[in-house]
Amino acid sequence: EAFRAWEQMIEPEWANVHYEKPDYQAISYYSAPKKADPNKTLDDVDPELLAMYKKLGINVDEQKMMNNIAMDIVVDSVSVATTFKKTLNEKGIIFCSISEAIREYPELVKKYLGTVIPQKDNFYAALNSAVFSDGSFCYIPKGVRCPMELSTYFRINQAGTGQFERTLLIADEGSYVSYLEGCTAPSRDENQLHAACVELIALDNAEIKYSTVQNWYPGNKEGKGGVFNFVTKRGICEKNAKISWTQVETGSAITWKYPSVILKGDNAVGEFYSIAVTNNFQQADTGTKMIHLGKNTKSTIISKGISAGKSNNSYRGLVRIGANADNARNFSQCDSLLMGNNCGAHTFPYIESKNTSAKIEHEATTSKIGEDQVFYCNQRGIPTEKAIALIVNGFSKEVLNKLPMEFAVEAQKLLEISLEGSVG
């Protein structure tokens, strides 16, 4: 059904990005790393895969692992391992791959899957609904605070493969969960497609923190290759619930994503903190949507865009306040930092308010890294590359502070790496 709907749809062209459209027939929609067994522990995972993760600085060994992070690992189209399942099960928390959830907990999946992002929501969501094979599933029971960070790690390994994972996260009444998502892909000359869907459901008084560090392959210095990252992410907040999206986007040739929150219940809170870095020929059109429906709903948007090389970085945000959303409040802040003379930073804010009691604030700044700042650092023995990293870190601090400790360190390193050589 989703596939038929997708065939009728037209690929969107309104985003501020330019690319050659993928040949959807040429993409391999399913690719599995060697045979998968549902009851596997880490001992059964292909040692080559473990070596690959080690090289990426990710330790998957439960004994050596940071003791407060449970992980689900998805390579190409299949979930290859989930750690700490037993510890989580004791609290009634379900954390597994979505394929396992469909087998083991069909009633939960049926009840919630597709409720936030309908099959025919948009071109890429319809494609995902038609072909998704795996992804993560998480359910936190009533009143439970998840004792550890939950984490999913996505990697596109196989050439010519697209990745179409589906993540479904349900926080039942009064529960809390912090979820981390990391993404990488090796260098390839041709473009690869990543079209995922993430659905978050925060029931009354629940809180979900969702953090992403995205490092898909961005293409080479001439702009050849790279991942097309076309993702739909959306959460729905019931009464007194809170959803907070934090993202650090440094990879992919093209990024098209708008993690959104529907503030349905009264007193619901939505937050969006983002750093988007583009270098060389990368293009990003990213932002958020905050849809205020309930009374006294609040949303905060803080977006930091960093452009270098010949890249283009666009922020596109929508704040919509419904007629019944009395006393709704929104604060948006968009800061752009330009490095060099060939890159672009664009901001497209959309504000729609149907309620006179709403308060909406919007701030925006655009700045360049000044020669005097770099000179000042050089005088104190700080080399130019380090000085740039220092300035960028300061610029991004507000967002980095929102990430869990282990992730923030990784994100800082990523920012430095992705801007290496960008100062000529």
pTM: 0.87
pLDDT in tens, 115-150: 999 888 888 898 888 888 788 899 999 999 998 888
pLDDT in tens, 369-406: 888 889 999 999 999 888 988 899 999 999 999 988 77
Facing residues of 194 across strands? 163, 229
Where residue 31 falls (left for φ over 0; alpha for ψ -120 to 50; beta otherwise) is beta
The domain segmentation of the chain, as residue ranges, is 2-418
pLDDT in tens, 173-208: 999 999 988 877 677 777 888 888 999 999 999 999
- Give dist(CA 237, CA 76) in Å, integer: 31
pLDDT > 70 in the chain, percent: 87
Decide the pairing of beta strands 312-321 and 329-338. Answer: unpaired
Mean pLDDT of the chain: 85
What pLDDT, on the 0 to 100 scale, is given for residue 162?
A: 77
Neighbours of 31 (CB within 10 A): 18
Residue 46 has pLDDT above 60, yes or no: no
What is the four-CA torsion angle of 49, 181, 130, 40, rounded to 10 degrees?
Answer: 40
Q: Quick one: pLDDT band at residue 112, thresholds 50, 70, 90?
A: very high
What pLDDT, on the 0 to 100 scale, is given for residue 280?
A: 86
What pLDDT, on the 0 to 100 scale, is given for residue 36?
A: 42
